[in-house]
Amino acid sequence: MGLETSHLMTILSCKCPSCGEAGLFEVKNPYKLRSFTKMHKACPNCDADFVKEPGFYFGAAYVSYGITVGLWVALLVALITFDALQLIEFGFLTHPGTFIICGVSMLLTLLPIIYRVSRSIWLSIFTKRIIK
């Protein structure tokens, strides 16, 4: 349980999937929009390769797509629940603008985090973990 939890936290905090110590990205704050995409080429701590081959992170787009679809479904469930609790008036067919505006706002706000976490998940799939 502890190992899986710490491995999950390593992925979600965008740390090296091999050692879990150093960060994948050069800048820690994902909302520094000029530099949130810059990654280390290798782990500063254990020298694990973060760029396995050219175009390696193309596959992270599939992970990002899955996260995005999950967030849209979660938003839809939240809006339907708020409607059932009579906190807002929402119907999928009667108020589609509410759904689209909330969804696009959510995705634009979370874009840097989704970008980083999807790369971290993709890299962790192809990196062997060093168990201490």
Which residues would be at the binding site for Zn ion (CB under 5 A)? Answer: 16, 18-19, 43, 45-46, 48
- Distance in Å, CB of 41 to Zn ion, minimum: 12
Name, in order, each residue with C-beta under 8 angstroms of 48's C-beta and a sequence gap of 6 or more. 16, 17, 18, 19, 42, 127
Report the residue number, 40 or 95, with the smaller CB distance to Zn ion.
Answer: 40
Is 41:50 a contact under the CB 8 Å cutoff? yes
- Distance in Å, CB of 23 to Zn ion, minimum: 10
Report the residue number, 21 or 83, with the smaller CB distance to Zn ion.
Answer: 21
- Distance in Å, CB of 17 to Zn ion, minimum: 8
Report the residue number, 11 or 67, with the smaller CB distance to Zn ion.
Answer: 11
Q: Is 35 left (phi over 0), alpha (psi -120 to 50) or beta?
A: alpha
For residue 116, count other CB atoms closer than 10 A to its CB: 21
